[in-house]
Structure 1
Amino acid sequence: MIDDLRRLSVRDWSLAGLSFCALMMAVALGLEHLVGLEPCPLCILQRVAVLSAAAVFLVAAIHDPVGRAGAVIYGLLSLAAVGGGIAVVGRHLWLQSLPADKVPSCGPGLDYMMDILPLQQVLAQVLSGSGECAEIDFLLFGISLPGWTLVGFLVLALAPLGLLLAANRPRRGYRWQG
């Protein structure tokens, strides 16, 4: 099975990652527009992480580098985007685990903060959390949306790892001795 995965190209792994990013965004937008769940600021940052990974996968799929360096660069960039998403989800899950008396108060909306504050201060304020990020609006099989988003990011991490695997693929004409 590892040999089959090793045969996949950078483009194959990139298209798989891009497709999973599209699925994650479709679910997020469906829950927002069809179900009526409004995203909190941390949810929006998670979407930014998904879109960042999608952008890297798109460029990697179009470029489809033959050499190892390109696969490693795209693998590390997409892994950084996915890792950032996992970090934000971790913060979100931590906020949801707090007792009600320890939850930070709700702050101003993200749109308002983006209008009046510099980006660095907006990010600091969003990552410090607010009461709206601690609310659990939806459960599926007893798992909140950030929990499912964490599962999504962990599955998505397979694509950057696949890119790194593709970087270690033997070159044509070289016989693999493993």
Structure 2
Amino acid sequence: MRWRLPFLLLFLACVGMIAFALYHQYVNWVMPCLMCVYQRLAVIAYGLVALLATSWLPRSRTGVALIGVLASAAALFGAATAAWNIRLQYGPADPSLVCGSSLPFPIDLNAPGWPEWFVALIRPVGDCSQIDFTLFGVSMPIWTLLTCIGLLAVTFVLCRLRWRELAPWGGRA
């Protein structure tokens, strides 16, 4: 329970964050920019790793390290893209720093086979330097940065606890 339940709650938090983003995209017409899409992908990746951790209880330190590295990588990527987005929004205007819907996206969303809901979830449309939405006076990239740092901290604590429960050779301590 000390492993699975927290990761289930983290997975549900990621689902809630994506639902919140989609609500504002479809109800309030706040379109995601390229950095927002990358942040969404990081939250989705973290959520999938949390779902994996919910269904699989690692019985070795290698398994704990695998979950920790995957979850941490997703959270760090989300934090880094959020920090870059914050730089674009609040930093001095610099024409060499560009982020908009005209930039190339690494996935061809026009290719057949992509579900419409997935294309709508990750299609970059907005301008990264614009602050289109705030919650309690704070822009979304700042919330994402704080959330990703929190996810990273919780992942570290959960993995550390499980690591201590396991003996170095893979058996129970």
- TM-score, length-normalised on structure 1? 0.73
> Is 1:166 aligned to residue 161 of structure 2?
yes
- What is the aligned length? 154
2: CA distance, partners of 1:34 / 1:90:
26
- Shift of residue 56, structure 1, vs aligned partner: 1.0
Residue type of the alignment partner of 1:31: H
More helix by share: 1
> In the alignment, which residue of structure 1 is the partner of 2:115?
none
Over 3 Å counting, the alpha-carbon distance change for 1:170 and 1:135 in structure 2 is same
Residue type of the alignment partner of 1:162: V
> Is 1:108 aligned to residue 102 of structure 2?
yes
> In the alignment, which residue of structure 2 is the partner of 1:126?
none
Q: Superposition pairs for residues 1-178 of structure 1, below 5 Å?
A: 9-100=2-93, 102=95, 104=98, 106=100, 108=102, 114=108, 132-171=127-166
Larger Rg, first or second structure (1 or 2): 1
Unaligned runs of 5+ in 1: 1-7, 117-129
1: CA distance, partners of 2:31 / 2:59:
43
1: CA distance, partners of 2:151 / 2:80:
14
- Cα deviations by residue, 1:127-147 (Å, 9 ceiling, x for unpaired): xxx981000112223211111
Question: Any idea what SS the aligned residue of 2:165 has?
Answer: coil
Range that drifts further, 18-27 or 47-56: 18-27
Residue type of the alignment partner of 1:132: D
- Shift of residue 155, structure 1, vs aligned partner: 2.2
2: CA distance, partners of 1:163 / 1:101:
41
2: CA distance, partners of 1:163 / 1:53:
14
- Cα deviations by residue, 1:51-105 (Å, 9 ceiling, x for unpaired): 1111111112111123322122101210110000000001000011233464647
RMSD: 2.9
Percent identity between the two aligned chains:
31
1: CA distance, partners of 2:42 / 2:172:
38
Over 3 Å counting, the alpha-carbon distance change for 1:69 and 1:132 in structure 2 is same
1: CA distance, partners of 2:98 / 2:138:
22
1: CA distance, partners of 2:45 / 2:106:
23
